[in-house]
Structure 1
């Protein structure tokens, strides 16, 4: 039986949270963040402090996200919250909204993405080695990696995380890979004129064949939706019509999974110490 799209924003929030693999505590944090944006869409200031958790958000239609003024209302809310909110908290709330909007769009419940052009504020510069570690520069520990890889995350994300960790390659390099460059038996990419080769281990070797099943060319990592008109052929899958996954989207997806574990990790922390990386040149 086909699920009817929800009319109310609040109902859409609950369906999104119910479909997530979040623990109850993380689900509550996500709900508070998404309720905050409901106030913005209603062109009203969200309560602050303890009142924020107890206040009932306005009831509004999900279709308001497709209203021409939605993006402007959200920009105003970002500026307002940026004046009295920690930058990391605001960035986390923006990431939560983007993830929910992408999920709703993937189901055809809304058409546009008013959060696409929102720009979070800059994070404070680390002032010491300890603060640098907390800001997301230290590689994940074996225990943290085990917790991450045990997540019920989509195959695409699991493959990307394993490949970044096992290869030690730059995120930009991995996201730029194409399916026809893979040498699966050799656990490496076929070298190009720049002589760069990406190598991987057993975890990636197990996942890659599943990820590329039925595809012989095009970007290795794809978005969930078809590529928009005007997307370069090199960034569009000839088999599915979907676009190459962007750095920003990959970071958002990873951040959401990290927050579900109560962490603020970044993709760069997946890279193992240099001494443990396979060779990356031929």
Structure 2
């Protein structure tokens, strides 16, 4: 007889995560995203840095007792982890991941599996310098040359160039479709969100969209999950639109050798 069948509270954090997800009534895609977020906090509970980039999806989280959530040091560990996570992702993603943890903790407490709530005072923390000028400092020319010299895939290089050269909002850029582009004029077509670019982007975009006259401009490496809206699925490859979260993870993974401080928002701040 399984633990779920006996009604006994789970001992391990990972088991509690699966029990929560099974009861949450989520679609497959949402369940996968929630699981990744909750596994990320497991690394914080173990006082270890979470994997980033592609490794984040594949890494097995540490085995932890669920009771660790009631340890008096846990709120501090989670606050430190939120600060680190805030350096690698946008505030919307961090807020969503914090909300996922809060929801799971509330569900576990309602069943008496844990007593306290280590997320009570947990808020998104900006880990960058308190000076707004320093926080928004654009990359120097030397830093940009180092970034663009990385052996990164075409998709990443095109995205980084476009963000830097256009200064457009990240959400706007990721929402672009291939038929929004007007390559000869180095801009988007009338009726689309106005985005302009320069020579670096102009060189890369034709290579990126070759054979794809319609559909999302920036795509994931995998086919879109079942239930993905048609507007976020490429009709030619079946792949999904690249998300903000994934784009941030890719930038972090590729810039590890360049040092900390690389975020999508900072990259676009140079214009």
Decide: shared fold, TM above 0.5.
yes
Residue in structure 2 matched with residue 264 of structure 1 by the alignment: 261
Residue in structure 1 matched with residue 188 of structure 2 by the alignment: 189
The CA distance in 2 between the partners of 1:236 and 1:70, in whole Å, is 36
Q: 1:202 to 1:92 in 2, by over 3 A?
A: same
User: Quick check: 1:164–1:174 contact (8 Å CA) kept in 2?
Assistant: yes
Measured on the aligned residues, the alpha-carbon RMSD in Å equals: 4.2
Find 1:244's aligned residue among 241, 249, 254. 241
SS at match of 1:83: helix
The CA distance in 1 between the partners of 2:250 and 2:153, in whole Å, is 10
Please give the per-residue CA displacement for 1:106-145, whole angstroms capped at 9, x wherever unaligned.
xxxxxxxxxxx6699622476742xx455x4211111111
Residue in structure 2 matched with residue 122 of structure 1 by the alignment: 124
TM-aligned CA deviation for residue 94 of structure 1: 9.0
Q: 1:82 to 1:257 in 2, by over 3 A?
A: farther
User: Quick check: 1:223–1:244 contact (8 Å CA) kept in 2?
Assistant: yes
Give the TM-score taking structure 2 as reference length.
Answer: 0.58
TM-aligned CA deviation for residue 168 of structure 1: 1.2
Residue in structure 2 matched with residue 255 of structure 1 by the alignment: 252
Residue in structure 1 matched with residue 105 of structure 2 by the alignment: none
TM-aligned CA deviation for residue 171 of structure 1: 0.7
Q: 1:269 to 1:201 in 2, by over 3 A?
A: same
SS at match of 1:199: coil
Residue in structure 2 matched with residue 209 of structure 1 by the alignment: 206
Residue in structure 2 matched with residue 218 of structure 1 by the alignment: 215
Residue in structure 2 matched with residue 141 of structure 1 by the alignment: 140
The CA distance in 1 between the partners of 2:260 and 2:213, in whole Å, is 37
Q: Is 1:83 the counterpart of 2:80 in the alignment?
A: no
Where do 5+ consecutive residues of structure 1 fail to align?
A: 1-36, 53-61, 96-116, 275-282
Q: For 1:1-282, list aligned pairs within 5 A.
A: 46=46, 83-84=76-77, 86-87=80-81, 90-91=84-85, 122-124=124-126, 128-129=130-131, 132=132, 136-192=135-191, 196-274=193-271
User: Quick check: 1:237–1:243 contact (8 Å CA) kept in 2?
Assistant: yes
User: Quick check: 1:91–1:121 contact (8 Å CA) kept in 2?
Assistant: no
TM-aligned CA deviation for residue 220 of structure 1: 0.1
Please give the per-residue CA displacement for 1:234-253, whole angstroms capped at 9, x wherever unaligned.
11000011111111111111
Where do 5+ consecutive residues of structure 2 fail to align?
A: 1-38, 49-57, 90-99, 103-121
TM-aligned CA deviation for residue 72 of structure 1: 9.8
The CA distance in 2 between the partners of 1:236 and 1:191, in whole Å, is 23
Q: 1:197 to 1:261 in 2, by over 3 A?
A: same
The CA distance in 2 between the partners of 1:64 and 1:127, in whole Å, is 33
User: After the TM superposition, which of the residue ranges 180-189 and 164-173 deviates more from structure 2?
Assistant: 180-189
User: Quick check: 2:84–2:127 contact (8 Å CA) kept in 1?
Assistant: no
TM-aligned CA deviation for residue 91 of structure 1: 2.1
Give the TM-score taking structure 1 as reference length.
Answer: 0.56
Q: 1:261 to 1:127 in 2, by over 3 A?
A: closer
Q: 1:63 to 1:186 in 2, by over 3 A?
A: closer
SS at match of 1:140: coil
SS at match of 1:265: coil
The CA distance in 2 between the partners of 1:164 and 1:122, in whole Å, is 24
User: Quick check: 1:179–1:215 contact (8 Å CA) kept in 2?
Assistant: yes
